Amino acid sequence: MRDILHVIGGEAVGGGSGAFGDVFDPNIGELQARVAFADAALVDVAVRAAQKAQPGWAALNPQRRARVMFEFKRLVEARLDELSLLLSSEHGKVVADSRGDFQRGLEVVEFACGIPHATKGEYTEGAGPGIDVYSIRQPLGVVAGITPFNFPAMIPMWMFAVAVACGNAFILKPSEKDPSVPVRLAELFLEAGGPPGVLNVVHGDKAAVDAILTHPDIAAVSFVGSSDIAAYVYATGAAHGKRVQAMGGAKNHGIVLPDADLDQAARDIVGAAYGSAGERCMALPVAVPVGAKTADALREKLLGEIDALKVGLSTDPDAQYGPVVTAAHKRRVEDYIALGQREGAELVLDGRGFTLQGHEKGYFVGPTLFDHVKPDMRSYQEEIFGPVLQLVRAESFEEALALPSRHAYGNGVAIFTRDGRAARDFAARVNVGMVGINVPIPVPVAYHTFGGWKRSAFGDTNQHGMEGVRFYTKIKTVTARWPESQLEGESSFIMPTMK
């Protein structure tokens, strides 16, 4: 049995609570490793290692820190094939999707390579008589990130790339379901020239999370996960004097207007709903066709696209998606399918009971489609996080606009239309944080920022981009005056002359 250890101060470290978590291969449903869980004492060891390393790292000029990020990016790219296979073996997403997981994270690393420019302050000459004012962005010190299972490469890099580039030391607590990739990222950061202790990885459960949230020497915490836990993380971290950004769940809608290109919309919606087995906070699990004619036509096109989907092993190059992450998560998704059926939605396609020959123990769920879903149904109101697509029919643009605007979640939304005025009006009025116009998964590029509204995000600062720089730095403003003085006698700097 392979043991997955912590990375603290540049070394693989065991110990902690004495407990371990099981790591499965979701393709075959078999145990493949165990991961050591940290306790509060081990988290404190990681904090001490980070505190020791951080001042020297912050004292490096930002260009030298950027060079480490450049080399880290090169090393990850050079090992992308093996890293993607490792990610897929623990998460279950197909290898091509795992490569995308790394690529979207590396885009934030690319942004962090420009940290000398991003952390420049402001300067005002002559703000008063002989007075100049300037600002400095300085690192917070030791910061932490708590990341989910669904993006074990991308989301850690979203956090630590910006944080360490700004001069902080970072403690990463990844998901215990697929922890190997975060460990490899920390090892590659060391290989790239990152000083030991600047990037640490501690594994664990709620005990490790609470130790991070309450530790007096951790200045800020970034979190991505479910909304209930995000609310807890935000409240607990803030109560202990920390900056906190906590991203929660989602129920993203795709509005389809009658003038949309239905062939393209159907392809986009199927890819966004079922890709990565629906285990994305920016998945598109709700389609909202406007008008009965649009709804009927979209349903037929969706059925055609779904019929062509192939569910397979993570290593199958022809598979569109693989298994869900754990047996417990498979049961959860199937329970939601049963709930939707009990609530009266039309179960058009049922993905329960799906198996692959020779891999009957794998955690596979087939593509599921509901029609005539109503807003008062619990299966609509809650996040399913699986390969389940729900059709909610709307009679008008205003009704369609109201659905995502009134929903408890407000992460992302998309509209499919050829009408520029309607798209512009929708983008301006919808009560959601990220909007796609004919783009089904509107995750912003790395130099913009990621963040939802309502129960999808707690805190007032988004992830990555300049929002990330602001989150991981504190601003210091200096007001300086240098009074004029009368020089007496000759200065020693004056060229001597013969008299």
Burial (CB count within 10 angstroms: exposed 0-12, middle 13-18, buried 19+), residue 214? middle
Please pick, among 244, 281, 384, 401, the residue that the annotation labels catalytic. Answer: 281
Backbone angles phi, psi at 200, to 5 degrees: -120, 150
- Work out the number of other CB atoms within 10 angstroms of the CB of residue 420: 9
Tokens at 446, concatenated: 């790395």
Helix locations, 355-490, DSSP H: 378-381, 397-406, 420-429, 465-471
Q: Is 281 a catalytic residue?
A: yes
- Work out the number of other CB atoms within 10 angstroms of the CB of residue 490: 9
- Report yes or no: 265 and 379 within 8 Å, Cβ to Cβ: no
Burial (CB count within 10 angstroms: exposed 0-12, middle 13-18, buried 19+), residue 14? exposed
Distances from the Cα of 304 to the Cαs of 299, 309, 492, in angstroms? 9, 9, 88
CA dist., res. 318 & res. 116, Å (int)? 43
- Work out the number of other CB atoms within 10 angstroms of the CB of residue 205: 14
Identity at 290, one-letter amino acid code: V
CA-based nearest residue to 209, from 229, 181, 227, 184: 229
Identity at 462, one-letter amino acid code: N
Identity at 218, one-letter amino acid code: I
- C-alpha of 345 from chain center: 31
Rg (CA), the chain: 26
| DSSP state letters, 135-194 | EEEEE-SEEEEE--SS-TTHHHHHHHHHHHHTT-EEEEE--SSS-HHHHHHHHHHHHTTP
- Residues with active-site annotation: 281
